[in-house]
Amino acid sequence: MVDSKNLLQFLKNRRSCDAFLQQKIERNDIDKIIEAGRNSVSFKNRQPWRFVVIDDDKKKKEIAEICGGRAIVENAGVIIALCSTLVDFKMKSGFEAYPMDLSFACSFMMLQAEAMGFSTKIISTFDQKSIQKYLFLPFKMEIPLLLLIGKEDKNVLYKKYKRKPLEQVVSFNCW
Ligand SMILES: Cc1cc2nc3c(=O)[nH]c(=O)nc-3n(C[C@H](O)[C@H](O)[C@H](O)COP(=O)(O)O)c2cc1C
């Protein structure tokens, strides 16, 4: 059982990383992080994901170039590309399930990585077609997010983004 008080403080302390040290992540640690994603929730348990792990330095550099030459992408210990395997499915509400499923998996992996002492960053601003081609994604499969994981460079001054106040985001029993 996870201590709920500590968990809440852990969630409140987390923030996206702005700079990584150039440090590799052990395969054993990558496996644990992926295991968290594999055990994530998904609509009807369809698990419409494939986690493409990029830990090769040359490939990280090339992905960073596709992402506009960003150092944070190149310096990440590992890049996990969250790829879909099912894209044609809509829930009864009309929403597509796979972007939500992939977001949950991303979130599970982020929190596992953070709990292991790593820092994380989500990247969504890339040309999807170029990444699809680079990773040889099959036809129709999508790639909405890249998850960067690594050791934080503590010499960089970080901004902690505030959250909206509780009363602005919560109401009970009606809007
Ligand atoms: C769907 C999604 C896409 C995101 N894309 C990016 C991105 O492309 N680049 C980036 O720097 N951060 C990205 N983020 C991170 C958010 O900007 C960040 O979580 C938010 O500003 C709050 O900051 P914090 O994580 O430090 O609390 C993304 C987050 C989500 C959930």
pTM reported for the whole predicted model: 0.97
Ligand 1 pocket, 123 CB below 6 A? yes
Which residue type does 52 have?
V
Domain ranges of the chain: 17-153
CATH class of 17-153: alpha beta
Cβ contact 66:134 at 8 Å: yes
Predicted confidence band of residue 139 (pLDDT cuts 50, 70, 90): confident
What atom of ligand 1 comes closest to residue 124's alpha carbon? 8
C-alpha 155/C-alpha 14 separation (Å) is 17
The average pLDDT across 5-21 equals: 96
Ligand 1 pocket, 164 CB below 6 A? no
The average pLDDT across 108-129 equals: 97
Ligand 1 pocket, 161 CB below 6 A? yes
Dump pLDDT digits (tens) for 87-101: 888 999 999 999 999
Side-by-side strand order, sheet with 49-54: 49-54, 78-84, 145-150, 119-123
Dump pLDDT digits (tens) for 147-169: 999 999 999 888 889 999 999 99
